[in-house]
Amino acid sequence: MTVDFGSLFVLYLLLGSIVGVMAGLLGIGGGLLVVPALLWLLPQAGIDHSIVMQMALGTSLATIILTSSSSALNHLRLGNVEVALIRSLAPGVIAGGFLGSYVAELIPSQYLPKVFGIIVLLLALQMLLALKFTATRTMPSPLKIVASGGVIGVVSSLAGIGGGSLTVPYLSFHGVEMRKAIGSSSLCGTLIALAGMIGFILHGVQVTNLPSMSLGYVYLPALCGIGVTSILTTRIGAKLTSHLPTSTLKKIFAVFLVFIGSKMFLG
């Protein structure tokens, strides 16, 4: 069953609005919402089930480029980005983001949602328990930083997220001030999403059953709808942080993620 283009585009706009508010309010990556939502919406656009997970991941990463780059620019202006640290992490997260798209292509379609479900469950557990990693450890050797960035990039690309849930704890654990950990993570998220998106585009261009208005595994109508409204509503979420109990809301959202992760893992 397919739904007309206009109705679906309205749903993309609505999804982007929700993603923007949640990102601004809770500081969570949009991919955790975008991917499950697109798994429901894309088949209604007539997209073949055999490629719908790859389309959801690729499109999610493309939307993250828009939101993360906006956030990264703000943090750069505020001096919240450790440029030297980014230079060390960049090779790993870029290579990992691209490699994640390759791994997604290797995993059979029926198992890819289960991989996503496992990642979501682990991130939800971290959020639910409010795990904090603070330490006075120094950053490890350059080689270990690149390797760590690679792991973060692969996992993030496989989940269609920017990786803030992984990068911020990693940096905090190694003694980076939280403000700069968050700022640096936003720039890393942009790099991961860009590399991952390019990978999903390259892997998708040769696929014969792609829908119209797509660029590889990136579905352009969903990208436009989600991207436009998410950028606009992020500010609303940020303003709500001073009026709403964000710590409580974050735990409620974590429970929601447990439900989503479990459902995707169990099929």
Would you list the DSSP string of 40-67?
HHGGGGT--TTTHHHHHHHHHHHHHHHH
Most confident of 28-37, 61-70, 206-215, 248-257: 206-215
- Is the model's pLDDT at 141 over the cut of 80? yes
pLDDT of residue 123: 87
Q: Which tokens is 31 given?
A: 């991919």
Q: Could you tell me the pLDDT band of residue 133, with boundaries at 50, 70 and 90?
A: low
Buried b (16+ CB within 10 A) or exposed e, 108-125: eeeebbebbbebbbbbbe
Check residues 1 and 111 and name the one with the higher pLDDT. Answer: 111
pLDDT of residue 130: 62
List pLDDT tens digits, range 149-160. Answer: 999 999 999 999
Q: Could you tell me the pLDDT band of residue 104, with boundaries at 50, 70 and 90?
A: very high
Q: Which residues, at least 6 apart from 173, have a Cβ–Cβ distance to it below 8 Å?
A: 133, 134, 135, 137
Three-class SS state of 76: helix
Q: Which residues, at least 6 apart from 267, have a Cβ–Cβ distance to it below 8 Å?
A: 113, 114
Residue written as token pair 């493309």? 62
- Is the model's pLDDT at 245 over the cut of 60? yes
Whole-number Å distance between alpha carbons of 233 and 211? 29
pLDDT of residue 157: 95
Percent of the chain clearing pLDDT 90 (strictly above): 47
- DSSP letter at 175 equals T
Give CA separation, 196 vs 35, 59, 161, in Å: 14, 10, 10
Three-class SS state of 107: coil
List pLDDT tens digits, range 169-178. Answer: 888 888 888 7
E-strand stretches of the chain: 214-215, 218-219
Percent of the chain clearing pLDDT 70 (strictly above): 94
E-strand stretches of 67-154: none
**If you average pLDDT over every residue of the chain, what do you get?**
87
Q: Which tokens is 54 given?
A: 């790859």
Three-class SS state of 214: strand
- Is the model's pLDDT at 80 over the cut of 90? no
List pLDDT tens digits, range 12-27. Answer: 999 999 988 887 777 6
Check residues 240 and 189 and name the one with the higher pLDDT. Answer: 189
- Is the model's pLDDT at 257 over the cut of 60? yes
Three-class SS state of 218: strand
- DSSP letter at 137 equals P
